[in-house]
Amino acid sequence: MLRRVLTLLSAVCVLATSASERAGAQVSYSLRYAPRAPIRIHTISRSDILMTVTQEPGGGAPLSVEASRLEGMTQFFDAQADDRYLVELHYDSLRARLRPVGGAWRDVMAEAGELGLVRAVLTDRLEVLEAEFVDMPHLQATNGQMARGLGGGHLLTLPETPIPVGASWTADLSYPLNAFAAIGREDGVPVGGELRSEATATLDSVVTRPADTLYYVTARGNFMSTVLPASAGGESASVTAGGSLAAMMVWSTAWSAFVSGATRAVILMDIRSDPADGNAVTHVRFDVTTLSQVRM
Collapsing DSSP states into helix, strand and coil, what is residue 217?
strand
The number of C-alpha atoms within 13 Å of 180 and in the hemisphere containing its C-beta is 31
Q: How far apart are CA 50 and CA 288, in angstroms?
A: 7
Judge whether 137 and 152 are in contact, CB under 8 Å.
Answer: no
From the list 177, 175, 169, 227, the residue with the least C-alpha distance to 199 is 169
**One-letter identity of residue 184:** G
Residue 279 is predicted with a pLDDT of 67
From the list 208, 212, 219, 211, the residue with the least C-alpha distance to 159 is 219
From the list 206, 204, 270, the residue with the least C-alpha distance to 237 is 270
Going residue by residue through the chain (296 aa), what tens digit of pLDDT does each one get? 435 533 443 443 444 444 444 444 579 999 999 988 778 889 999 999 999 999 887 767 788 999 999 988 888 888 888 889 998 888 888 888 999 988 999 998 876 667 778 888 899 998 988 888 777 665 666 666 666 667 666 788 999 999 999 999 999 888 888 778 777 777 778 777 788 899 999 999 999 999 999 999 999 999 999 988 777 665 667 889 999 999 999 999 999 999 999 999 999 999 887 666 666 788 999 999 999 999 86
Residue 18 is predicted with a pLDDT of 44
* Residue 243: C-alpha distances to residues 82, 136, 249 (Å): 37, 31, 20
